[in-house]
Structure 1
Amino acid sequence: MLDPLYCRRRQRRLLDILVERKLEVAVITSRPHVYWLTGHSPFWLHETAVLLRADGHLTLISANSKADCAAADEVRSYPANRFATQRMDQPAVVADIVRDSTNGSKRIGYDAGVPGSQLVGLYGKHSTAIDDSIHLLRRRKEPDELALMRKAIDCTRAMHERARHIIEPGVSEITVYTELHTAAVSEAGEPLSPAYLGNDFVCGSGGGAPRANRPAKAGEIYILDIGPAYRGYFADNARAYAVDRKPTDVQLKTWEAITGVFPIIERMAKPGVRCHDLFDAGREHLRQKTGKVLDHHLGHGVGLFPHEYPHINPEWDDVLETGDVFTIEPGLYGPEINGGIRLENQYLVTETGVENLTPFPLALA
């Protein structure tokens, strides 16, 4: 799990936000954010909360019993289930504890967790949303976070290795999905975090969930854009496979254009570079090589959420920072490709450039 030493470091970074915005206390009720700050990973059906005061004192509210080994100065608990049945009123119970604990506070910051949302009306003009500040703080991944992300990426490597062995004409999309799930859990050595395994598990199409009774066909391209979460942290990378291992000339030309995006980005990307410039460079390369237009983002940050800062997307104007983890996923689609080809690598921004966290094969065949 997360290291309490680095959790305390993240708490100090959030304290800087409280000072900057003249807030007396931060009320954090989003489960991923509580985990990020304290190392306490609540059960997915349990509500939780953190109260971080401007003097640095942190109170954790956990379900059923006081959480052990959390980076907290005080831990309070509440009964989340009765006679083994989960209580449906947990948000209200946690909100009551938070309200009592913040009684007298005049300036309160909150995030968008369910219990916190119940307090917005109560605090009124004395409260302010700090979600975006937290999302920006989360950009810089600490070593404990990177260790979990690397393990999640190990799971995707195992999934792609399994895919190369089993994808062939006639294999069903459900079979591939099931086999890849098994490979990921075996690599992790434990159940994965409660989340979908990724975005795309289909052949002959641009993407989507695995379909019942849909066998792979010769000539199709199978897109596997996969993203398991290990102890709360996501991997996200894609590979594409020629189902019969005999890609057509058009498919090969498209694949060559797409793979050509990665060295361009790897040369350009470093702290201070505008993400919009990365997008433009990747889109222009694909246009020149194929005449086709990239019709989705070129990539995105990844961590506790599958999509987060930074955005390699013309709808945002982010700038790369040291500690960012982001993906690059160029893709092209159409009937002449018999579906589409999308490839995705995951990168860590270092002080001098980027490290490719997913250096496994990109080959179609």
Structure 2
Amino acid sequence: MADQGIEKVIVGKPLNIYYFTGIMINPYERFVALLLDSKDDHCSMILPSLEKEIASVKGIPEILHRDDEDPVLKLLEALEGCNTLGVEMDYFSMKLGGQFNEQLPNMKLIDASKLIGNLRIYKDQEEIEKIHQAARYGDQALDETRDLIRAGRSEKDIQFALFHAMSAKPGVVTDSYVIQVLGGERTANPHGFCADYVFQKGDAVALDYGVYYDRYWSDYCRTFFIGKPHPRLETIYKIVLEAQLAAIEQVRPGIPIKKVDLAARQIIEKAGFGEFFIHRTGHGIGLDIHEYPKVHQQNEDILEEGMVFTIEPGIYLPQFGGVRIEDDVVVTKNGVQVLNSYPKDYHSMILA
């Protein structure tokens, strides 16, 4: 940050504060910020007084504000003499920027959002192992839940069973979860919500979920079939699987990210279903279940060792059903490692 002329940076997203400090905090409506000083490698936290000592126990100075005080005034005092401030502009409000301009008109503001986000793109070995463990737990939870997916059970039944299986694993965090279970025609909605739909014979059932282990996410999707499905579902499943495997094969250092997306997209388009592949091929995972990099056909950024992201092509046919297959991959020194191991061949997806 110093090499870009930024003297101080104000960080607000709780996950980014955790990334820099190891402190997990939920600010609710109160003002919380981490102030980084690039000149002397120093940081401090602006905190509500009720959070006293949450940072100081880690050796981080605290600037406390009571509920009847304006926390921004405390922040402005800490910024006296700063000429160039990096701001996480995709988190803080325009109102805060206006206060900076009014009270410190000579201070230059720079958007540091992407700079901070880019730091999190590259995972070290400890982070990769946490994501890998989350993926292993995802395999185990799915194996424990699979036999419950049958005609007469509902989406909510499977959602609760999957949550129970995941939450029982050591180290899994349960204060946040993502579990999508959709059946029948509802699988044509890539971001639908669980409801009371009861599965029927021949249905596709899509399970898309993340395991949150030690504050790091995996992200996972398998599409099952309750008995032999409609021939068109079999067709699109095999196309999506071919597309996913082709995308995984592209992953290695030095390759433009867009080539991963295009490898999957071109197979689906060639099969005549291009208009029904309605999202990017993947996204980064880590402290958040969706983060950089974004794996789409316009992304010219280059894959580098330590990047971790999903590969999840899909085909969604309105009023009929859909298929998505998702795995997590890490870019290694010489290629790619797939972190999930649950089967995905067509015959393994057919449930008795």
Q: Give the whole-Å Cα distance in 1 for the aligned partners of 2:219 and 2:254.
A: 24
Q: How many pairs are equivalent?
A: 332
What is the correspondence of 1:49-68 to structure 2 with a 5 Å cutoff?
A: 49-53=33-37, 54-63=39-48, 64-67=51-54
Residue of 228, 241, 259 corresponding to 1:246 = 228
Q: Give the whole-Å Cα distance in 2 for the aligned partners of 1:183 and 1:147.
A: 21
> What SS does structure 2 have at the residue aligned with 1:333?
strand
- Alpha-carbon distance, 1:201 to partner: 1.5
Residue of 179, 186, 191 corresponding to 2:161 = 179
- 2:190 is equivalent to residue 209 of structure 1: no
What is the correspondence of 1:95-244 to structure 2 with a 5 Å cutoff?
A: 95-112=72-89, 118-124=95-101, 126-189=108-171, 191-194=173-176, 196-198=177-179, 200-204=180-184, 205=186, 206-207=188-189, 208-211=192-195, 213-242=196-225, 244=226
- 2:320 is equivalent to residue 333 of structure 1: no
Q: Give the whole-Å Cα distance in 1 for the aligned partners of 2:209 and 2:172.
A: 18
Query: Which residue number corresponds to residue 62 of structure 2?
Result: 76
Query: Which residue number corresponds to residue 246 of structure 2?
Result: 264
- Give percent identity, aligned residues only: 24
- Alpha-carbon distance, 1:166 to partner: 0.6
Q: Give the whole-Å Cα distance in 1 for the aligned partners of 2:163 and 2:56.
A: 30
- 2:6 is equivalent to residue 20 of structure 1: no
> What SS does structure 2 have at the residue aligned with 1:187?
coil
- Alpha-carbon distance, 1:356 to partner: 0.3
Aligned partner of 2:52: which letter? S
Q: Give the whole-Å Cα distance in 2 for the aligned partners of 1:302 and 1:218.
A: 34
The alpha-carbon distance between structure 1 residues 126 and 79, as it changes in their structure 2 partners (threshold 3 A), is: closer
TM-score, length of structure 1 as denominator length: 0.82
Query: Which residue number corresponds to residue 302 of structure 2?
Result: 319
Question: After superposition, what is the alpha-carbon deviation per residue over 1:74-131, rounded to whole angstroms, capped at 9, x for unaligned?
Answer: 3215367xxxxxx6x79x42x3332222222111111147667654223335221100
Higher normalized contact order (CA 8 Å, seq sep 6+, divided by chain length): 2
Gaps of 5+ in 1: 1-17, 81-86
Question: In 1, are the aligned partners of 2:47 and 2:65 still within 8 Å (CA)?
Answer: no
Question: In 1, are the aligned partners of 2:312 and 2:325 still within 8 Å (CA)?
Answer: yes
RMSD: 2.6
- Alpha-carbon distance, 1:134 to partner: 0.9
Question: After superposition, what is the alpha-carbon deviation per residue over 1:343-362, rounded to whole angstroms, capped at 9, x for unaligned?
Answer: 00100111111110112122
Q: Give the whole-Å Cα distance in 2 for the aligned partners of 1:65 and 1:332.
A: 50
The alpha-carbon distance between structure 1 residues 350 and 171, as it changes in their structure 2 partners (threshold 3 A), is: same
Aligned partner of 2:251: which letter? A
Q: Give the whole-Å Cα distance in 1 for the aligned partners of 2:92 and 2:54.
A: 19
Question: After superposition, what is the alpha-carbon deviation per residue over 1:118-166, rounded to whole angstroms, capped at 9, x for unaligned?
Answer: 5422333522110011111210012332233233323422332233111
> What SS does structure 1 have at the residue aligned with 2:61?
strand
Question: In 2, are the aligned partners of 1:62 and 1:76 still within 8 Å (CA)?
Answer: yes
Aligned partner of 2:45: which letter? L
Aligned partner of 1:342: which letter? R
